[in-house]
Amino acid sequence: MTITSLEAVAVRVPVERPTRISTRLLDKRDYVLVRAGRDDSPDEGIGYAYAGTSGGAVVAEAVNGILAPLLRRWPGDDIVGAWDAMYQETLLHGRRGAVMRAIAAVDIALWDLAGKRAGLPLAVLLGGRTGPVPAYASGGYYKPEEGSWTDAVTREIEDNVERGFTDHKIKVGGLPVAEDAARVAAAVEAMQGRGRLALDANNAYRTTADAEAALRAFEESAGATGLWWFEEPLSPDDVRGHARLRARCRTPIATGEIAGSRWEFRDLLEHGAADILQPDAGVLGGITEYLRVAAAAATFGLPVAPHWHANLHAHLAAATTNTLTVEHFSLSKDIYNFEVLVTPETRLATAEGCAVVPDRPGLGFELEEDVVRAFAI
C-alpha cells in the first residue's frame, strides 16, 4: 500500500486575448499537473497548481526532482505525513512560491487518489456533502478592445446575471482612481439592486494612505449598495498596512491568496489584518494545509473565501463551515482557463449562483489528454 508513481508535467494554456490586472499582463497561464499512483489501486490521482505566466517548468521540476524521489514507496494512506516530509525536505528550497506550489499539486493528487479509492467525492471524504455551494462571478479585467471601461463592465455584469449569479467581483487599481470609480458605479448600476460587489486591487497601492483614498472613492461610487470586500489593496507582505486600513475603513478587507503557508496566515490573524481570508490550496501547500488554515480562521471567527480553483475549492467549501463563497470564472471569459484541460462533461457545473460539487469520486473531473499533450511545455 505504497506510492509507486508520482510525475508532474507543465502545460501552458494561452489566453486568446491578452488582458491586464493592475500589476501585470496576462497572455498565458502555466499549470502543473501531477499524477499519483499506488501499488494497491488501478486509480490515478490528479493534482494541479497554477504557476503564473512562466513558472510551470520550475514547479514541475520541483516535483520530479525533489518530491517524487522522496515519496516513492511512501505509505499511500499517510497523506499528512507525506506533507510534513515534503515540507521538511524542501526547507532550503522553498517554504513559499514555486516549491510550495509543487507540494500543493502533489498533496492534491494524493487526496484525489484517496477519494477515488474510497469511491467518494473529495467533499464527502472530508466530512462534507455534494451539491450547491455559494459562488460569485469573478472578472472585470482590463480589456481595452471591448470598448469603454464602463461599457465593458456593464456588459460583463449583465452576462454574469444571465448565468444566474447575483454576486460579482471586478478589478481595480489599473487605472486612475476616478476611472476605476466610474467602473464601480457602472457595475453597481448593472446589478440592478441585487447581490454584492467585491473589488480586487491585486496589490496595486503602495501605501495605506493611497489604498484608503481609493477605497473612499469606490465606496462613494457604490452608494447605498456598498462593497462586499476590498481585496489585496497592498503588498501581500504588508501585514500591518492591511491592519491599519482595516481599522480605518468600513468595507471589509480581504487578503491571503498569495500567503504560502499556515504561518503566513497566522501573521494575518494575529495582526488583525483581514476581515476575510482567501487561502488558495494551490498556493499554500494543498488540501492538507488549506484545512489547517480554514480551521485557524474559524477559531478567530473569520470566514474564508478561497481564491481561484473552483473545481477544488467547491469541495473544500462543502467540507468547512466558515466558507463564505467560492470564486468562479466562466470559461468563456478566457481568464482562468484551467478547464480547457478538463473534459467538457466533467467541468464544474453552476446553478443559480452556486457551484455544484460533483458526486463523482475524488475531485470529480477528468483531463482531456489530447489537450494536455498539445499544451505541454
Which residues are annotated as catalytic?
A: 171, 307
Rounded Cα distance between 372 and 34, Å, is 12
Which residue type occupies 125?
L
- Cα 322 to Cα 344: distance, rounded to the nearest angstrom: 30
Phi, psi of 188 (to 5 degrees): -60, -40
The radius of gyration computed from the CA coordinates of the chain, to the nearest angstrom, equals 20
The contacts of residue 84 (CB under 8 Å, 6+ apart) are: none
- Strands 168-171 and 131-138, by their bridges, are parallel
DSSP 358-369: --SSBT---B-H
AA letter at 324: L
Report which residue type is found at 205.
Answer: Y
Long-range contacts: 154-157, Cβ < 8 Å, 24+? 154/186, 154/187, 154/189, 154/190, 156/333, 157/186, 157/187, 157/190, 157/191
CA distance 106 to 93: 16
Neighbours of 155 (CB within 10 A): 14
**Which residues on adjacent β-strands are paired with residue 137?**
168, 328
What is the spatial distance between Cα 306 and Cα 108, in angstroms, rounded to a whole number? Answer: 15
CA atoms within 13 A on the CB side of 330: 18
